[in-house]
Structure formats: C-alpha cells, structure tokens
Amino acid sequence: MAAKDELGARGERLAERHLLRRGLTLLDRNWRCPQGEIDLVLRDGDEVVFVEVKTRSSVAFGHPLEAITAAKLARLRRLARAWCEAHPGAGRIRIDAVAVIAPRDLPAVIEHLERVF
Amino acid sequence: MAIGRAHAISLLGLEGAVVEIEADISNNLPAFVLIGLPDAALGEARDRVRSAAGNSGLPLPSRKLTVNLSPAALPKHGSGFDLGIAMAALAADGQVSTESVARVVHLGELGLDGRLRPLAGILPAVLAAVRAGFGTVVVPAGNADEAALVPGVRVVPVVSLRDAAIWHGAELEPIPLEALMPAVPTAALDDSGDLADVIGNPDAVEAMQVAAAGGHHVYLLGPPGAGKTMLAARLPGLLPDLTAEQALEVASIRSLAGIPARGGLSTRPPLEAPHHTASAAAIVGGGSGVIRPGAAARAAHGVLFLDEAPEFAPAALDALRQPLESGVIAISRATATARFPARFQLVLAANPCPCGNAGSRDGDCRCTAMAVRRYLGRLSGPLLDRVDIRMDVHRITAGQLRASAELPRLSTAAARERILLARASAAERLRATPWRVNAHVAGSWLRSPVGAPARGATAALDRALERGGITMRGYDRVLRLAWTLSDLDGTSRPGADHIGRALYLRKAAR
C-alpha cells in the first residue's frame, strides 16, 4: 500500500471512531458503485449522513478542507443519490466533511463540518 | 460565531459615502464570498486579503467567510476596501477586538505580503469619514501626510496589516517593514517665475494684472516667441492665496487624480496646462468605473491654460462652456453623476494664423486670408464670448530689449499687493451679493444704481452699442472690466478713462 493510501485509510479510521463516539451509527464503509466511492455512510437520528474524509499529514500544502472542491461535492451528491437508490426508504440525507490532520508520531486533529452542501 | 464590522469610504467624484463591511464566518467548506456590488478590482480583494492575512501571521480560518458590503445597491470600485475587509474578517474570527474595529474607518489596498499600498483620493475619503462622524481613520503609512491635512480627525498610519491588527488589540510582536510610498509625479509647467522676467508687452502685463484682480478670463493672441506662455504661467503667482477651504478642495481633487499632497497643504492656486491633443474627457474628467477629475477640475480655484487653443479638438473646447458658466462640472454615467468644482480662470493662447506670423512686424505671413479665418474660427463664438480680456502680444524688438534694462519692471510681489487691494475693495462692494470678484457679477447689478459707472462715463460705450460695434453682453463685460480697472486705481467708481481702457482690453485682438 502506498504511503498516501495508508495515511488516507488511517484518517478514515480516525474519522469513523470520532463520529461513532459522537453517537452516530455506521451504515456503510467505503461503499462503491460504478460512479465512485463514499468514505462513510452513517445514521444520525432520522438522517442519513454521507461523509467525505480528507486527511493530510500537515497543512504545509493547504488545509484538508480546502481540497474538497465544488466538483468533488457534486460527485458526492451523485453518489448519495446512487446509495439512496440502492437502499430505498433512506429518508432525509445530509453531507458532512471531516478533516483529519494526522502528523507522524503526533495525535491527530479532527474537524467535523455538518451540512457542507 | 460573531460578526465582524468595519467601515470604509466609497468615493464618487469628491463625495464619499460610508460603506459598512460585515464579515461572517460559518461552519462550512473553506470559501471567500464577497457580495454587495463589487467591481473587478474589488472582487479580487478576496485573494489579496487571504494571502495578506496569512503572510502577516494572522491566517483566516479554513471556513466559509462571507463579506457583505452595504448599502448593497451602491456600486463600489477599486482596491481601497482591502484593509476594511481584512479587519472585519479578523474581527469575526476573534483575532482582533470587534468593538475597536467597528469604531474606525479603514482605507488601504493590501499587497500579498501584508503591507499597505497608498491610495489615490485619500484626502476626500478622510473628509467624508469626518463628515459622517468618525473620529479615527486607519490609513496606509504612505498616505499619512495627506490624511493629516484634514482637521479634526485622528489619523492612524499603519505599514502593514499586522500593525493594524496590533493597534486593534491582537497579541502579536510587531515586525518592522519598509512602508510603501506613493510614486512622485513628474513636474508640470513651472509657475514660479516672476512677473519682472517679462520684457516688453506692457499692455499684456497690465492685462494679466487686471485678469488677476477681477477674475477675468484672458485670450492672448500673438506670434510664436512673443511670450504668451510666459505671461500665462505668471498668472497663478498674481492670484491671492487660497482660503483653507479652497486649499483643501484643490488638494482633494489632486489626491483623486493621484497627485499626493506633499509637504502640507499648498495655499497657492494651481496651474493646469493640458496639451492640445487632450480629449474632452481629459479636459472635464471622465471614466466608466471610477470617475476621475480632468484638467478643468484640477485647475479649480486656479488657472487653466490652453496653449495653442485653436489646435484643441472643438469638442474639448466646447466642453468647457458649462464649467465656465456654472463653476461646476457634472459628469454623468449610467450608474451615477459625479460633481467637481471648476471655478477656474481660463487663459487661451493662440497664434494669429497657421504659420504664426500674421500681423507681426518682423515675419512674413504666407497664409491665405481664408486659412487665417479658418484657423481662428476654430475657437467657437460662444467660448470666446465668455472671455473678457483679448490681448495682442508682440515679439520684442532689439530696441525694446536694450531699453528694458533701464525701465522699471513690476515684480510679482508688488503686483500681487496691488491686486489684493483691488480684490478687497471689490469684495467690500459686493458684500451683500453672492459674488466676490467683478467677473462673476450679473448684468442686472451693473445697471443698478449701486453698480452703475459714474454719470456720463459710458458715452463711448453707448456709442459703440448704438453703432452695433458691441452686443449687450459685450457691453456688460466692458463694464465689469471697467470696475476692475477702477478697483486697481483705487477710485470709487469707473470713469470715462476706465471705460475706454476696458474697451481696449476687450477689443485689442482681432
């Protein structure tokens, strides 16, 4: 596994643990369809939450949230729709973003933004 | 999260409106949204502010930053809002004191390194801030001299965004940086010469003094090398000092035109001498976004000198008719109308014909009569009708040059003393009227008992009117000139001699 994929996987694990601790329940992890992949799908009360996780080891090349572009958000929305078609009766949905800044050998900083779209 | 508020000034001509800048940071993906009718230069403030803040050690948060400029319907131009936007954003983020930022007007363009660039038009902007009731203005260090000319305001000059943030309570160590200074403008026509430098042409020297005393416009006609430019450049020196209010207005217009006031407020009247290729917009002012003052507005309270007047585009010359009449230039564009003061004294200079030698004693003119007529015909009747003094200027001869060594010549200082006395007596006489100088007086006043010349003095003038030699408007202009001549002589009312000399000043040039 390449170093960047390893960092990404670590970030997703950290984000998942953070969200589960906040009382969300996990529905899907790395859900795939022909259009792409959703990092995390969770349930928060009566809402289904689609989460894009972005991980960086430092902010030297910008904050991880800055890497979530409008095009990426648009794709995430198409993916959310595909997930809903595959799982009828999902109810209300929302899209969140989680930034993980995980420097080597230091505790990670996690930022969670709700309703980014 | 808190909303950050700051204030800046949007200029339209010399008028300034206070613009409130609100900044809100919301929990959303990083973005910088600028709303409230910004133009292209202002829209780019987003990138300047984010970079400048980062490079000043005050990074903006990686969240959505919404900046609103209100009133939303007022179009806003230029880069002068950068500092206000940055301070409002930092206040919203809690990096500086919200109360402190909201109390102050911020002016300045940001560089990417966080330093502040000087702005054009700082003087009218600070004046507008004071009129709107603000007591403190933060300006770029390069504009500090100019902003300090406005009375009754505390000016806080800052070199960089970091300095401004520290002033508003950010806990940072100051980093000394070199302040950015405005560019020094190139020198214009020199108006420092003395009247005593002029050799010969005693009539024209006298005519310039009459012009200075009564505020009359002048038309100088003569061959090249006769000294027309020399005479015109000496007129500002003959005019009295500007009042504090006029000096501030002159400096405001120059500030708007990008000419910073250096070394304090100048109380000397300005001299503007646009080149004859100037367009109408260059003369009266214009521009689609920011409306800039033209040469006529820059010459307000001073002298507008048009050398080679027949070479100017007819549209440029005729654009002067409105300011000559009303003393105000109104420039209308689709979005707004800007007004500039334009009470200037006009000096026109022209050669008598295309080759320049018509009528001169020492040169041979080969121009046809038609060419001469066509050349001078380029100065339209309505424009010349507003010019009181028409003077021939001649080349001096070798004999005059030799004789000039012995003849006493009047210095600018002595002439100005005489002119100040004449102006004072005119102002005293016109105390109860809206006018201050003879050139502005209405015809009805000239025919009222208080404004009429001595009994029987107008005989020569009446004859000229009966013969059709002059029009009624010309009649009034001769009376105005006669009053100025009378003021210069210290007499209480113009007599026949003054009327005669006034007729000569009016009719000298063909």
pLDDT of residue B129: 95
Please give the C-alpha separations between residue B233 and each of B195, B222, B495, in angstroms, as whole numbers. 9, 16, 31
pLDDT of residue B363: 72
Pair (B397, B423) in one structural domain: no
Query: B118 with B102: CB under 8 angstroms?
Result: no
* CA torsion through residues B457, B459, B460, B461, sign: positive
Q: How far apart are CA B217 and CA B210, in angstroms?
A: 10
With CB atoms and an 8 Å threshold, state whether B62 touches A68: no
With CB atoms and an 8 Å threshold, state whether A65 touches B27: no
> Alpha helices, DSSP H only, in B411-470?
412-429, 443-446, 459-467
Pair (B251, B363) in one structural domain: yes
The rounded radius of gyration (Å) of the Cα atoms in chain A is 14
| Position B206 in a domain | no
Pair (B369, B443) in one structural domain: no
Pair (B107, B253) in one structural domain: no
What's the gap in Å between the CA of B26 and the closest CA on chain A?
10
pLDDT of residue A22: 93
Q: pLDDT confidence of B257, banded at 50, 70, 90?
A: confident
Q: How far apart are CA A37 and CA A34, in angstroms?
A: 8
Phi-psi region of A105 (alpha: psi -120 to 50; beta: other; left: phi over 0): left
Strands B64-70 and B15-26: antiparallel
The CATH number of whichever domain residue B100 belongs to comes to: 3.30.230.10
Least confident of B16-25, B82-91, B445-454: B445-454
pLDDT of residue B75: 80
Q: Cβ contacts of residue B58 below 8 Å, gap of 6+?
A: B90, B95, B161, B162, B165, B170, B172
pLDDT of residue B191: 67
Please name the amino acid found at residue B50. Answer: R
Q: How far apart are CA B485 and CA B211, in angstroms?
A: 10
pLDDT of residue B189: 62
Range of the domain at B323: 184-190+219-407
Whether the pLDDT of residue B68 is over 80: the answer is yes
Q: How far apart are CA B471 and CA B270, in angstroms?
A: 33
With CB atoms and an 8 Å threshold, state whether B29 touches A65: yes
What backbone torsions phi and psi does residue B338 show, to the nearest 5 degrees?
A: -105, 140
Q: pLDDT confidence of B510, banded at 50, 70, 90?
A: very low
pLDDT of residue B53: 94
Pair (B379, B254) in one structural domain: yes
> Alpha helices, DSSP H only, in B286-411?
295-298, 314-318, 321-326, 369-377, 381-384, 398-404
Q: What is the pLDDT of residues B153-176, one digit of tens each?
A: 999 999 999 999 999 999 889 999
What backbone torsions phi and psi does residue A51 show, to the nearest 5 degrees?
A: -120, 130
* CA torsion through residues B148, B154, B159, B161, sign: negative
Pair (B142, B158) in one structural domain: yes
Domain final residue pick, B343, B376, B407: B407
Query: B19 with B76: CB under 8 angstroms?
Result: yes
| Position B205 in a domain | no
What backbone torsions phi and psi does residue B116 show, to the nearest 5 degrees?
A: -100, 135
Whether the pLDDT of residue B219 is over 80: the answer is yes
What's the gap in Å between the CA of A116 and the closest CA on chain B?
5
**Domain A3-113: top CATH class:** alpha beta
Burial of B297 (0-12, 13-18, 19+ CB in 10 A): buried
Q: pLDDT confidence of B88, banded at 50, 70, 90?
A: very high
Q: Average of pLDDT values for B464-487?
A: 88
Q: How far apart are CA A60 and CA B451, in angstroms?
A: 82
Query: B125 with B9: CB under 8 angstroms?
Result: yes
Joined together, the tokens standing for residue B430 give 């016109």
Q: Cβ contacts of residue B77 below 8 Å, gap of 6+?
A: B10, B39, B41, B42, B289, B290
Q: What angle do CA B112, B115, B116 make, to 5 degrees?
A: 110
Nearest CA in chain A to B64: A116
> Alpha helices, DSSP H only, in B78-168?
82-92, 98-102, 122-131, 144-147, 161-167
With CB atoms and an 8 Å threshold, state whether A73 touches B29: yes
Short-list B61, B99, B91, CA closest to B161: B91
Q: What angle in degrees, to the nearest 10, is found between the helix axes of B82-92 and B45-55? A: 60
Q: Where are the domains of chain A?
A: 3-113
Q: What is the pLDDT of residues B4-25, one digit of tens each?
A: 999 999 988 888 999 999 999 9
Pair (B113, B39) in one structural domain: yes
Pair (B245, B323) in one structural domain: yes
Pair (B254, B394) in one structural domain: yes
What's the gap in Å between the CA of A112 and the closest CA on chain B?
9
3-state secondary structure of A52: strand
State chain B's mean pLDDT as an integer: 89
Which of A63, A69, A109 would you mutate first to test chain B, the one with the most B CBs within 10 A? A63
Q: Cβ contacts of residue B147 below 8 Å, gap of 6+?
A: B122, B123, B126, B137, B139, B153, B155, B157
Query: A98 with A112: CB under 8 angstroms?
Result: yes
Residue A115 touches partner B, C-beta closer than 8 Å: yes
First to last CA, chain B: 77
Q: How far apart are CA B77 and CA B40, in angstroms?
A: 8
pLDDT of residue B453: 84
Domain final residue pick, B407, B422, B443: B407
What residues in B contact A115, CB-CB < 8 Å? 28
What residues in B contact A114, CB-CB < 8 Å? 27
| Position B201 in a domain | no
What's the gap in Å between the CA of B64 and the closest CA on chain A?
10
With CB atoms and an 8 Å threshold, state whether A68 touches B29: yes
3-state secondary structure of B76: strand
Q: pLDDT confidence of B273, banded at 50, 70, 90?
A: very high
Pair (B111, B163) in one structural domain: yes
B139-168 as b/e: b if 16+ CB within 10 A: bbbbbbbbbbbbeebebbbbbbbbbbbbbb
| Position B196 in a domain | no
Short-list A114, A83, A80, CA closest to A98: A114
Q: How far apart are CA B286 and CA B336, in angstroms?
A: 12
- Nearest Cβ partner for B28 among A63, A99, A113: A113
CA B160 to chain centre: 31
Q: What is the pLDDT of residues B37-60, one digit of tens each?
A: 888 888 899 999 999 999 999 999
Q: What is the pLDDT of residues B177-207, one digit of tens each?
A: 998 888 776 656 666 788 888 888 888 999 9
Q: Average of pLDDT values for B278-288?
A: 88
Least confident of B87-101, B132-146, B433-447: B433-447
Q: pLDDT confidence of A1, banded at 50, 70, 90?
A: low
Pair (B401, B417) in one structural domain: no
Pair (B296, B384) in one structural domain: yes
With CB atoms and an 8 Å threshold, state whether A97 touches B27: no
Whether the pLDDT of residue A97 is over 50: the answer is yes
The structural domain count of chain B equals 3
With CB atoms and an 8 Å threshold, state whether A66 touches B28: no
With CB atoms and an 8 Å threshold, state whether A115 touches B29: no
What backbone torsions phi and psi does residue B271 show, to the nearest 5 degrees?
A: -125, 125
Q: How far apart are CA B65 and CA B29, in angstroms?
A: 9
Please name the amino acid found at residue A5. Answer: D
Please give the C-alpha separations between residue B359 and each of B33, B209, B221, B362, B395, in angstroms, as whole numbers. 70, 25, 11, 9, 11
Instruction: Kindly state the DSSP code that residue B82 receives in the 8-state scheme.
Output: H
Instruction: Give a three-class secondary structure readout of A101-117.
Output: ECCCCCCCEEEEECCCC
pLDDT of residue B380: 86
What residues in B contact A73, CB-CB < 8 Å? 29
ipTM above 0.85, yes or no: no
3-state secondary structure of A59: coil
Query: B332 with B12: CB under 8 angstroms?
Result: no
Residue A109 touches partner B, C-beta closer than 8 Å: no
Instruction: Give a three-class secondary structure readout of B258-275.
Output: CCCCCCCCCCCCCEECCC
- Nearest Cβ partner for B62 among A66, A73, A115: A66
Short-list B397, B438, B394, B402, CA closest to B419: B438
Instruction: Kindly state the DSSP code that residue B30 receives in the 8-state scheme.
Output: S
